[in-house]
A and B are shown apart, each in its own frame.
Chain A
Amino acid sequence: MRILFAADQHIYSAHALQALKKLAENTWADLTFVGVLDKSQDPSAQPGAAVAAAHPLLDALARYRDEFLAQWPEGESPYAPTRQAHEWISLRPGLWEHMQVARGAMKELKVRVRFGQTAPEILAAAQEESCSLIVMGCTGGEQCLWQDEPAVPQKVVDGADVSVLLVKEAAPIRKLFVCLDDSDVTQDALEMVNQMASITGAELDVVGLTKGGGIKREVFPWLNAVYDYYKDKGVPANIRFSEIDEFQQFISSQVTEGLLALWLGKKSLLSRLFQKKTDSIGHFVSTCRTSVLVLR
């Protein structure tokens, strides 16, 4: 697994770092921390200029790295920068230096800043690093915003073709609601839920989404297959159902704590629902009170 941690300098990113620490501690995933600054601050566009050294984002990224590395006891971190290597580093267009760098002992921890529009740069980073998961924080309650660019989390959720974990709160996860339908859930999505259930020890509620007429016989085969999949893996799961048209109400009344995981593959009921409505997936996700894992 490779994880992209998309961060800014505000408190919700620090909360998301706690979730990332727990994930990384167990999965030993390769990590990329990324922050994005406006293109006008790119020093390669202004020869001789340094990156806005005082920009709080750069301090925040360095702090997140230090805090992440400090969680491991001495000698036990797979990310400890103990592997020495020489690499060609571009100092400016037309000038490179062969520098000694320290890489992770067993796993990569890269800390990068990109220049451009925030959401597109985050999505581009996830693709370039072949990430399976984007982790980011956002404001809590019934909004999901970034302080300096409010729409960033929604744009990332709308545009990502990998799973996205939106961390809204710092509370431990004790319940995991996984909302699925019969539209060929991917192996990647099931495996992501496995990892979350293993890492958190959370109770798993599989919510079967149905369309028209309540619980139908056709619903059962695929839902039974999902239930059996988790049972065979030793992950106890409860099953419940929700009509897609009542889904928003279900979320408001039933999902008040824990983690909500939504299967949003291209042919899923939820994806089709959002294609018809004016609300985007990102906007819907922003209204959820808990942290949300968008599964793709």
Chain B
Amino acid sequence: MNKEGKTRILILDDEPIVCKRLKPTFEKAGYEVETFTDSARALERAREQDFDVVITDLKMEKIDGMQFLSEVKERSPATEVIVITGFATMETAKESFQKGVFDFVAKPFKISEIMDAVRRAEEKRRAAGR
């Protein structure tokens, strides 16, 4: 959380429209949000700053989502990661959970679905005393 007690969220998706859609909704709901369409830059930022929740796409150029989420979880195990993907398969779902993701959400999704996932992630963090 930031100094004001706001939950910090990082959103990574190589499609700008996804970030444009999610950022204002989460900010209006009281979250602090940083968005990235470039996975390399997102990883740099995740190394500088711990986030409470990370929402990441899987299929991206440069660093793909699986690699990104592995690095985030290794650096900050308390960070809850939510995967969003337009190419959902059983294998990617299983692999994501094996790597410790909090939730796996196939696109398309309604905003309320992803907001529910973030709220549940926050509840889990609170229950763990974070």
- Which B residue's beta carbon lies closest to that of A189? B108
A82 an interface residue at 8 Å Cβ cutoff? no
Q: What's the Cα separation between A233 and B15 when bound, in Å?
A: 11
Contact present for A132 and B87 (CB under 8 Å): no
User: A70-84, CB under 8 A of B: which get 1 and which 0?
Assistant: 000000101000000
Contact present for B89 and A26 (CB under 8 Å): yes
Contact present for B90 and A26 (CB under 8 Å): yes
Contact present for A195 and B88 (CB under 8 Å): yes
Q: Which residues on A sit within 8 Å (CB–CB) of B87?
A: 194-195, 198, 233
Q: Which residues on A sit within 8 Å (CB–CB) of B17?
A: 187
Count A-B contacts at CB 8 Å. 69
**Residues of B within 8 A of A (CB-CB), count:** 23
Interface centre among A2, A25, A131, A234 (most CB of B within 10 A): A2
Contact present for A2 and B97 (CB under 8 Å): no
Known: A194-B87, A198-B89. A188 touches B108 (CB 8 A): yes
- Which A residue's beta carbon lies closest to that of B97? A106
Q: What's the Cα separation between A12 and B15 when bound, in Å?
A: 38
B86 an interface residue at 8 Å Cβ cutoff? yes
Interface residues of A in 79-101 (CB under 8 A from B): none
User: Smallest Cβ distance from B40 to chain A, in angstroms?
Assistant: 18
B106 an interface residue at 8 Å Cβ cutoff? yes
User: Smallest Cβ distance from B4 to chain A, in angstroms?
Assistant: 29
User: A164-192, CB under 8 A of B: which get 1 and which 0?
Assistant: 00000000000000000000000111011
Q: Which residues on A sit within 8 Å (CB–CB) of B86?
A: 191, 194-195, 198, 233
User: A25-38, CB under 8 A of B: which get 1 and which 0?
Assistant: 11111100000000
B63 an interface residue at 8 Å Cβ cutoff? no
Q: Which residues on B sit within 8 Å (CB–CB) of A29?
A: 106
Contact present for A78 and B93 (CB under 8 Å): yes
A130 an interface residue at 8 Å Cβ cutoff? yes
Q: Which residues on B sit within 8 Å (CB–CB) of A187?
A: 15, 17-18, 21, 108
Interface residues of B in 5-51 (CB under 8 A from A): 15, 17-18, 21
Q: A27-B106, A187-B21, A195-B107 are in contact. List 8 more A-B contacts (CB 8 A).
A: A26-B90, A26-B93, A26-B106, A27-B93, A191-B86, A195-B106, A198-B89, A199-B89
Which residue numbers of A lie inside 8 Å of B, CB to CB? 1-2, 25-30, 76, 78, 106, 130-132, 163, 187-189, 191-192, 194-195, 198-199, 233-234
Which residue numbers of B lie inside 8 Å of A, CB to CB? 15, 17-18, 21, 59, 86-90, 93-94, 97, 103-110, 112-113
6 interchain residue pairs of minimum CB distance: A27-B106, A188-B108, A191-B107, A1-B106, A130-B110, A194-B86
In the assembled complex, 15 residue pairs joining A and B whose CB atoms fall closer than 8 Å, in A order, are A1-B105, A2-B110, A25-B90, A27-B88, A27-B93, A27-B106, A76-B94, A130-B110, A130-B113, A132-B110, A187-B15, A188-B108, A189-B108, A198-B86, A234-B59
